[in-house]
Amino acid sequence: MSVLLFRLPLPALFDFNLCLEYMQRSTLECLHQADAAGVTRLFVLEGSPVLIRVTAPDGDSMEVRLLYGELPGAQQQEWLARYIMEWFDLDRDLAPFYTLAAADPLLGPLAERFHGLRIVGIPDLFEALSWAILGQQVNLAFAYRLKQRLTAEYGRSLEWEGHTYYCFARPEDLLDVSVEELCTLQLTRSKARTILEVAALLARGELSREALLSLPSPEAAEKELVAIRGIGPWTAQYVRMRCLRDPSSFPVGDVGLQNAVKVLTGMDKKPTPAELVQLSAGWRGWEAYATFYLWRTLY
For the beta carbon of residue 84, count every other beta carbon within 10 angstroms.
19
Identify the CATH number of the domain in which residue 274 sits.
1.10.1670.40
- Given a contact cutoff of 8 angstroms between Cβ atoms, the answer to whether 247 and 289 are in contact is yes
Alpha helices in 71-217 (DSSP H): 74-87, 95-102, 107-113, 125-134, 140-154, 179-183, 189-203, 209-213
Cα 145 to Cα 132: distance, rounded to the nearest angstrom = 13
Beta bridge partner(s), residue 159: 164
Residues 33 and 75 in one domain: yes
176 catalytic? Reply is no
Would you state the pLDDT for residue 28?
Answer: 95
* Domain membership flag for residue 294: yes
Residues 143 and 222 in one domain: yes
Instruction: Give per-residue burial for 47-60: e unless 16+ CB within 10 Å, then b.
Output: eebbbbbbbbeeee
Q: What is the pTM of this model?
A: 0.96
Q: For the chain, what is the largest distance between any 2 Cα atoms, rounded to a whole number of angstroms?
A: 57
* Domain membership flag for residue 163: no
* Domain membership flag for residue 85: yes
Identify the CATH number of the domain in which residue 85 sits.
3.30.310.20
Mean pLDDT, each 10-residue run in order, the chain (299 residues): 95 97 96 98 96 95 98 97 98 98 97 98 98 94 97 97 97 98 98 98 98 98 98 97 98 95 95 95 97 95
Count: domains in the chain = 3
* Domain membership flag for residue 100: yes
CB proximity list for 131: less than 8 A, separation 6 or greater:
122, 143, 147
Would you state the pLDDT for residue 258?
Answer: 97
Residue among 91, 124, 254, 268 flagged as catalytic: 254
* Domain membership flag for residue 234: yes
Domain that holds residue 136: 125-157+168-242
Residues 64 and 139 in one domain: no
Would you state the pLDDT for residue 299?
Answer: 82
* Domain membership flag for residue 162: no
